[in-house]
Structure 1
């Protein structure tokens, strides 16, 4: 299938999926989420693929977040549906894919971008990467699994600090807190990903699929948390602070939440 925003290359049992919206810093709009969903479904069924690498095009960004202009006018019910659709269409699908998905974070991974990276089974980053969940600066909360997956990876305290302050962390800091597995120079990132994926392909695909299911079973409690995230994400929509935060972002000014 041809995609407008996604590139796919397959070589030696490894698929390289590249989100290709460099002018928008690879931001996730509805079309891109739909294309990624279809892409992962197709690769799941492709018997010649044993591991998947996910990255962003260009040198600046993995995924700089969601496309704010698509939902700035949404109300509470539309906001909740946006979150639920994203969970079902892409983020939960990636997490539960029976073929390992490795995120190669080659720059900014912010908001939905970091949430997508956290849905992958593990992550590598380039030295120039910056990671964060800046949603509270828009008057909303992370709505694609960030409130659940970030605490699993870095612990409750660090996760709350990142979410409440909306701060970005460097690749080095992300590695130290367990958010990414390793950090390398930008030119070495793809090679590291391919080396790791190649090691996967030498092992039993069936055993790895069962291992993914077994590991994920230990976190099934998060399903309740994801439902609460959808609810509280939706609650933020239509509030004066959401309108101020998204308006300020689109107008390229600082929000005023006083």
Structure 2
């Protein structure tokens, strides 16, 4: 792959978008992102995934507007899989961490919103400026952002196209942590290491329950929780975890 690189270490995969100068979301980046995440979904040794942008300027500063001008409607005549790369990342049954190391604008913010946890360096900026081009956020921003920050604030951000700093994004629960510039990867790896120590059998079910349950009435969500708990209880990892607790030792999970 030319614009996406993937490294793996101790159950953690790090996916880096490298499309200078601002890591824009073009067709090739979309295609390579989908390919990378499909590979990571199938890799049984990968438990947690970090997604970030190369350099210090941008996680991803939006879509490639030049491609809009040359190719027209970015949603028209696209293969279904390519169109749904954001949905694929959101639903991958492994915890994902977005490390936002600069601008996360337009499609860049929409991409970050597909991840389970978002960590930002203090110089990061966030926004959905599509309205300034006479457009709207077309990568899920109109749907995912209101679920995180509430409809009123989401509308304000989309109506104005304004950028907000990392500290304000933290107050809005758009991100979970702000760290000093240059320390984002360390913080992301520390978090990913904690996550990767646990059973993927449990992690994947937790993710599914939160993602699906947030859209369901409470009673329906509780039914699914009970079902997945029963499934999980029968796995090798659950038996190992319980045995290790009783025997006062650290569990050795095999993700089975």
1:60 aligned residue:
57
Ranges in structure 2 where 5+ consecutive residues have no aligned partner: 217-256
4+ aligned runs moved over 6 Å, structure 1: none
Counterpart CA distance in 2 for 1:21 and 1:12 is: 27
Q: Give the alignment of 1:1-258 within 5 angstroms.
A: 3-23=1-21, 25-72=22-69, 78-81=73-76, 85=80, 88-220=83-215
Q: Describe the SS at the equivalent of 2:174.
A: coil
Listed one character per residue, the Cα deviations across residues 5-49 of structure 1 (whole Å, up to 9, x for unaligned) are 0111111110111001122x0001000100000000001111111
Secondary structure at the counterpart of residue 187 of structure 1: coil
**Aligned length in residues:** 216
Structure whose alpha-carbon radius of gyration is higher? 2
- Structure 1 residues 209 and 169, CA, compared in 2 at 3 Å: closer, same or farther? same
CA distance in structure 2 between the partners assigned to 1:82 and 1:55 by the alignment: 28
CA change 1:79–1:88 in 2 (3 A) is closer
Contact 1:34–1:89 (8 Å) recurs in 2: no
The CA RMSD measured in Å over matched residues stands at: 1.8
Cα deviation digits, residues 46-79 of structure 1 (max 9, x gap): 111110000000110000000011123566xx45
Instruction: Indicate conservation of the 8 Å contact 1:19/1:57, yes or no.
Output: yes
CA distance in 1, matches of 2:76, 2:107: 15
User: In the TM superposition, what is the alpha-carbon distance from 1:84 to its structure 2 partner?
Assistant: 8.4
Question: Per the alignment, do residues 146 and 122 of structure 1 end up closer, same or farther by CA in structure 2, a change over 3 Å counting?
Answer: same
